[in-house]
Amino acid sequence: MNREAVEDFFYHEAALLDAWDLDGWMDLLCDDARYLVPPNDVPDGNPDTTLFIIADDMDRIRGRVKRLKSRDAHAEFPPSRTRRLITNVRILEQGDAELTVTANFSVHRFRRGGKGGEYVGHYVYKLRIEGDGFRIAERRAVLDAEELGGLGAVSFIL
Amino acid sequence: MSGMDDPAKILHSTAMNKNPYIIDNPGGNDFRLNRETLVDPDILVAERDRVFDQCWIYAGHDSEVPKPGDFKTRDVGGRPVILTRDGDDNVRLFLNTCRHRGAKVCREREGNTKRFYCFYHGWSYGNDGALVAVPGDDAYPDTFDRSELGLKDVPRFENYRGFWFASFNPDVEDLEPYLAGATEYIDLVVDQSADGNMEIVAGIQEYDIAANWKLLVENSFDDYHLHSTHSTWLEYMKDSGVSIKVPKGLLLPKKGIGRDLGNGHAVIDNYNFRGRPVATWISIYGEEAKPAVEAAKAELVERLGEERAERVANTNRNLFIFPNLMINDGSSVTVRAFWPEAADRMKVTAWALGPVGESAIMRKVRLDSFLTFYGPGGLATPDDVEALEQVQAGLTSTVKEVPWSVMTRGIAKDGEQLNSDELHLRTFWRRWNTMMTGEAAAIETAEAAE
Ligand code: FES
Ligand SMILES: [Fe+2]
């Protein structure tokens, strides 16, 4: 698997998320996938011993997506508009079944009558090789800001 | 023209003085809040002086500086401070400003040190605050006395069961009497721990809310909004197999109640029916956690007896300590302090608290349970934040046309009030009003009259 294949995969995922195609996004996930956003002050912490911002297993990812699709996820209603810029993709480890990949992100968020902002950081993905493609086993979004501060919340899928 | 000669200004201040902050008439079943209290920057200036600088303000937890030399920097009461444990094992809270010409002497978030070194001209201080080195001190006159130029302690600093509070009022009453009825509830939180030691877990959630700080006081223990604001969280719990109905025939307290705890502190005290890491298992925690949760319950019964164990393990409490601390002991223990940056903006800091030495699986369940509801990525807190920001956005520029909010839920009841009534909100506002104006508060309940 080369970097170009990984980049294509990330761009596809970003397009799904920016389009709020959350069911399409869930199809990219393994059945035991994890979605993590560590706290700003412990970016390489372990969610079993550190209070994260988000530490979802698949059950809570499903719950999160169901919530975000309803009109009652008030922090995301009307849904924010996002635009994701994904760059600096690097394959850190390549096994037979799994890759560890990092990429930088800049996610711009806009909301009518509410807070927007620019979420900047890097991802660390564990991608499982399935056929000639990937599925996401773990997706860790690490924010660079010292505190969440004016961004307020991570109420959409970062 | 300037100052008080300006007729526009005089008119404005007369208009302002016409309306009280609250209209409080429990006998007439009336309680209204003047929305200017959430909008006017001059009111915030007065609050800093009359409320925050008079009270005890939460500063940190004993467990955050476990070893001598450990330190953490943060803002407390609007001042930059260093929370540290000195060489003699005393927890200290220093104002983070150099006695020379003012620079912050410590700029790291946390660490361990024997010396705090001010890089500007190189003065350095011991972790007991003493000024220990001054480069080129031969240029100072005889009157220069190092012993008077140590880092300044905050005027008052005391702890109750590991929770440290600072006061910038040297004459404030001691912490324990100040906490009044809140100590009963802090005890319930700390009794979760076999040896009485709780700790702050690594990982801080720091986020801003574009709303007046008092809206978060209200929101943090307002159970009236649960079903409308948090329907997606309730859905998630239901989908995960947790009953969201209140079962019939519950134990003490039979239902959720709101209580005035004195000195502006208040609580909602609910029977638990959605699981607690200490110590009521629900399916969402996973089968593998069941034995550990049951063992924790057994330990409670053994140590505290059946009745007290039931109280600790099977009741939830959202405890408000006036003016700006919430301890939510339910699906996890959340410690949340907040500070106004402006009339329409606050900074929130939230920590998770757990018993020292709890098993790895219990800690995991506790943190997982925290994140289901709480925090900037939880399934509920972002909607609270949205609610407060929409309140602020809604009332700010309409305050002339719509000057009052209604806050009378439960006021006509004779006995106990529910967690979904607004007694506890009124308790906060009464104390706040008394501190701001010097007016005595109206008495609504027998408990408050005691
Ligand atoms: S301001 Fe600190 S040494 Fe001068
Ligand atoms: Fe809420």
Quick check: is A129 in a domain?
yes
pLDDT at B151: 98
A107 touches chain B (CB under 8 A): no
In this predicted structure, which of A22-26, A133-137, B130-134, B292-296 has the lowest mean pLDDT? B292-296
Domain containing A19 — which CATH number?
A: 3.10.450.50
Quick check: is A156 in a domain?
no
pLDDT at B244: 63
Our CA-based measurement puts residue B73 at a distance from the nearest CA of chain A, in whole angstroms, of 13
Q: Which of A82, A102, A101, A78 lies closest to A158 in space, CA to CA?
A: A82
Quick check: is A154 in a domain?
no
Q: Write out chain A residues lying below 8 Å of B393, CB-based.
A: 113
Say yes or no for a CB contact (<8 Å) between B368 and A151: no
pLDDT at A114: 75
pLDDT at B250: 44
The domain made up of B58-159 has a fold known as Rieske Iron-sulfur Protein (2.102.10)
Per-residue pLDDT of chain B (450 residues; tens, 9 = 90+): 333 444 444 444 444 556 899 999 999 999 999 999 999 999 999 999 999 999 999 999 999 999 999 999 999 999 999 999 999 999 999 999 999 999 999 999 999 999 999 999 999 999 999 999 999 999 999 999 999 999 999 999 999 999 999 999 999 999 999 999 999 999 999 999 999 999 999 999 999 999 999 999 999 999 899 999 999 999 998 898 876 665 554 444 457 889 999 999 999 998 887 788 887 888 889 899 999 999 999 999 999 999 999 999 999 999 999 999 999 999 899 999 999 999 999 999 999 999 999 999 999 999 999 999 999 999 999 999 999 999 999 999 999 999 999 999 999 988 888 888 999 999 999 999 999 999 999 988 766 665
Q: How many domains does chain A contain in total?
A: 1
Who wins on pLDDT, B414 or A30?
A30
Domain range enclosing A67: 3-147
Numbered ranges of CATH 3.90.380.10 in chain B: 182-449
* Residue spans of beta strands (DSSP E) within B362-408: 404-406
Q: Write out chain A residues lying below 8 Å of B205, CB-based.
A: 39, 51, 53, 148
Quick check: is A100 in a domain?
yes
Say yes or no for a CB contact (<8 Å) between B203 and A152: no
Say yes or no for a CB contact (<8 Å) between A153 and B235: no
pLDDT at B252: 40
pLDDT at A65: 98
In this predicted structure, which of A76-90, A127-141, B43-57, B249-263 has the lowest mean pLDDT? B249-263
Nearest-angstrom CA–CA distance, A6 and B312:
51
Q: What sign has the CA pseudo-torsion B278, B279, B283, B288?
A: positive
Residue among A35, A51, A76, A147 with most chain B CBs within 10 A, to mutate: A51
pLDDT at B65: 98
Who wins on pLDDT, A115 or B17?
A115
Report CA(B380)–ligand 2 centroid distance (Å).
6
Say yes or no for a CB contact (<8 Å) between B207 and A152: yes
ipTM: 0.97
Please state the φ and ψ torsions of residue B401, each to the nearest 5 degrees. Answer: -80, -35
Report CA(B389)–ligand 2 centroid distance (Å).
13
Q: What sign has the CA pseudo-torsion B365, B370, B372, B376?
A: negative
Neighbours of B123 (CB within 10 A): 23
pLDDT at B11: 43
Say yes or no for a CB contact (<8 Å) between B232 and A151: no
Residue range A21-32: average pLDDT? 98
Helices (H), B262-359: 290-304, 306-314
The domain made up of B182-449 has a fold known as Naphthalene 1,2-dioxygenase Alpha Subunit; Chain A, domain 1 (3.90.380)
Nearest-angstrom CA–CA distance, B421 and B408:
8
Tens of pLDDT, residues B268-293: 998 887 788 887 888 889 899 999 99
Tens of pLDDT, residues A47-70: 999 999 999 999 999 999 999 999
pLDDT at B414: 85
* Residue spans of beta strands (DSSP E) within B54-190: 56-61, 70-76, 79-85, 91-95, 110-112, 115-117, 124-126, 131-133, 156-160, 163-167
pTM above 0.90, yes or no: yes
pLDDT at B277: 85
Numbered ranges of CATH 2.102.10.10 in chain B: 58-159
Neighbours of B8 (CB within 10 A): 8
CB pairs under 8 A between A and B: 136
A144 touches chain B (CB under 8 A): no
Residue ranges near ligand 2 (ion) with Cβ within 5 Å:
B 384
Residue among B207, B283, B396 with most chain A CBs within 10 A, to mutate: B207
Residues 30-89 of A with CB under 8 A from B: 37-42, 45, 47-56, 59-60, 63-64, 66-67, 70, 72-76
Asked if residue B114 lies in contact with residue B167, where contact means CB atoms within 8 angstroms, the answer is no
Quick check: is A153 in a domain?
no
Ligand 1, atom 4, residue with closest C-alpha: B121
